[in-house]
């Protein structure tokens, strides 16, 4: 394994009886990076993280940390530390004692040195001055930072984070996610972060691995995941999308650029996977990637504004398509910029998008095909 890789999983599977919780997963986490594992509830994220930490043993496959195969290394001997969703702080101890706890347990260090390191870790998470406070005398966000300091003070090669922002309210979560990203960049510690919250994964990570039913669907930087999803699942799970179902592939303009007929309307898109003419596909189009021009224009899809929902920085406009064989509408996100079109309900509009702003994947439920006699 390359020295640039801090965590490596090679064909790792974990079964609980008949249930395959993690299914033949291979991935590499580059040194010093912020790596997120994103997936819905029950997809296998926690099991994956617990195997890296050493709390679960893989049924098969190998796990490497810092270049060393750690399958047989107990959790306390692995060069990683885990921050849990339930922070497991000691409520009756003060902040400083919570942070020195791991160092005391490890031993071999003077009290003065432990305190110096703990204060340094607290300063890194912006908590200097609160050393003597009890845990129940600080806020939820501050407790979060104590839990991070308590892990960072042990100087792990890899910090494993089990959705630690999950219990915070929305506002705090927003600010903590940026803090966490800055902290990771400052310390250079490799972070492996599991979450079901895509806004967190997209905002913080260098790389995101999307997991579903124990299998990795895609590993990519956030922007690529968002713009070029590799599977139907990633396209539907990550970000908001218009999902137009059961289109038919009618032609290819080049290898990737595909023409799809949806309810009698020709639409351009990017083939997200290998497709052939006549395949039944779903087309995913981001609401913010659709351009709206007032009136009936050339080269676009004609529609009528049926709903306008104001949402602060933008409006979500629902446009009914006028030339489709079945009722069909698209959600369009319009930023409130100077050039934004001034729309009213009932207005005729023309919609268009860059071909690669729409992603086509084989429909999950293929129509029943009669077997030939
Ligand atoms: P969540 O986001 O809800 O925490 P997750 O993605 O972390 O979910 P896991 O906790 O890894 O998912 O669970 C994956 C699957 O393995 C689930 O079906 C779960 O019920 C099952 N599972 C997890 N731990 C055990 C266990 N100790 N014994 C049996 N089944 C388990």
Contact between residue 78 and residue 65 where contact means Cβ atoms under 8 Å apart? yes
The 3 state secondary structure assigned to 150-214 is HHHCCCCCEEEEECCCCCCCHHHHHHHHHHHHHHHHHHCCEEEEEECCHHHHHHHCCEEEEEECC
**187: confidence class by pLDDT, cuts 50, 70, 90:** confident
Answer whether residue 354 is part of any domain: yes
Residues 75 and 213 in one domain: yes
CATH of the domain at 192: 3.40.50.300
- Are 121 and 210 in a shared domain? yes
Q: What average pLDDT does this structure show over 256-275?
A: 95
Ligand 1 proximal residues by C-beta, below 6 Å: 16, 19, 21, 39, 41-47, 196
Looking at ligand 1, which atom is closest to the CA of residue 47? 11
Ligand 1 atom 20, closest CA: 42
Domain boundary at 206, 232, 258, which? Answer: 232
Model pTM score: 0.88
Does residue 307 sit within a domain?
Answer: yes
Whether residue 172 lies inside any domain: the answer is yes
CA dist., res. 4 & res. 155, Å (int): 18
Supply the angle between the helices 95-106 and 111-124 in degrees, to the nearest 10: 130
Question: How many domains, the chain?
Answer: 2
Residue 368 has pLDDT above 80, yes or no: no
Domain boundary among 204, 232, 260: 232
Asked whether the beta carbons of 126 and 158 are under 8 A apart, the reply is: no
CA 84 / ligand 1 centre spacing (Å): 15
Q: pLDDT, tens digit, for every residue of 294-337?
A: 998 888 999 999 999 998 889 999 999 999 999 999 999 999 88
Domain range enclosing 349 = 240-362
- Nearest ligand 1 atom to the CA of 194 is 7
Probe target for ligand 1 pocket from 12, 13, 14, 16, with the most ligand atoms within 8 Å of CB: 16
Task: Answer whether residue 373 shows pLDDT above 60.
Answer: no
Radius of gyration of the chain (CA): 25
Residues 46 and 170 in one domain: yes
């Amino acid at each position: 394994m390359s020295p640039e890789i801090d965590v490596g999983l090679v064909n790792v599977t974990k079964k609980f009886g008949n249930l395959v919780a993690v299914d033949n997963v291979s991935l590499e986490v580059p040194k010093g990076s912020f790596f997120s594992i994103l997936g819905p509830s029950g997809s296998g994220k926690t099991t994956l993280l617990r195997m890296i930490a050493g709390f679960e043993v893989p049924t098969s496959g190998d796990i490497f940390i810092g270049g060393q195969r750690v399958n047989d290394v107990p959790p306390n001997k692995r060069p990683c530390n885990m921050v849990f969703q339930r922070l497991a702080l000691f409520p009756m101890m003060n902040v400083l004692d919570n942070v020195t706890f791991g160092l005391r347990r490890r031993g071999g260090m003077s009290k003065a040195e432990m305190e110096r390191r703990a204060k340094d870790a607290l300063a890194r998470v912006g908590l200097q001055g609160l050393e003597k406070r009890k845990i129940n005398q600080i806020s939820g966000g501050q407790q979060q930072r104590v839990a991070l300091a308590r892990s960072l003070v042990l100087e792990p090669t890899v910090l494993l984070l089990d959705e630690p922002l999950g219990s915070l309210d929305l506002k705090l979560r927003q600010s903590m996610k940026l803090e966490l990203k800055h902290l990771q960049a400052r310390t250079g510690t490799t972070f492996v972060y599991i979450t079901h919250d895509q806004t967190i994964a997209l905002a913080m990570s260098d790389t995101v691995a999307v997991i579903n039913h124990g299998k990795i669907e895609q590993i990519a930087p956030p922007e690529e995941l968002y713009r070029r999803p590799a599977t139907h699942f990633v396209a539907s799970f990550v970000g908001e999308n218009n999902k137009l179902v059961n289109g038919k592939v009618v032609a290819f303009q080049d290898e990737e650029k595909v023409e799809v007929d949806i309810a009698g309307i020709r639409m351009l898109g990017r083939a997200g996977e290998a497709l052939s003419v006549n395949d039944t596909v779903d087309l995913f189009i981001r609401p913010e990637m659709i351009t709206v021009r007032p009136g009936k224009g050339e080269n676009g899809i004609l529609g009528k504004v049926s709903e306008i929902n104001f949402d602060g920085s933008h409006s979500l406009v629902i446009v009914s398509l006028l030339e489709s064989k079945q009722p069909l509408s698209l959600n369009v996100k319009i930023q409130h910029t100077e050039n934004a079109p001034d729309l009213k309900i009932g207005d005729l509009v023309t919609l268009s998008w860059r071909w690669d702003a729409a992603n086509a994947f084989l429909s999950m439920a293929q129509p029943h095909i009669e077997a030939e006699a």
